[in-house]
Amino acid sequence: MTLTTFALIRHGQTDWNAQRRLQGSTDIPLNDVGRGQARDAVATLSAYEWDAVVSSPLSRAAETADLIAAGLGLSVAKRVPELTERHFGPAEGLQGGPELEALRTPDGFRGAESDDDAATRGLGALEALAEEFRGRRVLVVAHGTLIRLSLGRAISRTLQSIDNAALNLVHHHPVDGWQLEYLNGEPLTAAAIS
């Protein structure tokens, strides 16, 4: 059976990231820091050969993918709607505090997509890409919560966070499943997962 390798990259920074606001599916663009992070990611990603670049259709992920692809001499093959960030409902745009806490539920936020639903959607998208690009190397630009939940489900571990424009390298084998090699640009260690 054939191994498919994925780089799962969270988009670069946006103003809402800098302000620590929940973005979710709200389409907030990259800021200049985020554009720089996308360009800087090319140095790490150029250590590998990539067969395809795909992304979420939200502008912050799409622009990050476009910048990375251009830096690698590639183009973006497709935008995958299922890679859109988790929908946080009325919590989108809020910062930490009483208003946000009032919306919190055991599985996220009232009126939002659940952790379970987001993980199912995201992992389903990655498994479809693994089938479509079997045996190849695919660079996927998406969103922090979606990557964290989907990847956590894939490897049966709880992941704490996904950094902007950092390398998360994971391999998919049709029989053996998923194996995480790098998380947030660091080789996987027991301390990286809980």
Domains held by the chain: number: 1
Instruction: State the Cα–Cα distance between residues 137 and 181, nearest whole angstrom.
Output: 14
Active site residues: 11, 85
pLDDT digits (tens, 9 = 90+) for 42-60: 999 999 999 999 999 999 9
The answer to the question of residue 194 being in a domain is no
Arithmetic mean of pLDDT over the chain: 95
Q: Per the structure block, which two tokens stand in for 80?
A: 């995958």
Residue 158 belongs to domain with CATH number: 3.40.50.1240
Q: Which domain holds residue 37?
A: 4-188
The answer to the question of residue 193 being in a domain is no
pLDDT digits (tens, 9 = 90+) for 58-108: 999 999 999 999 999 999 999 999 999 999 999 999 999 999 999 999 888
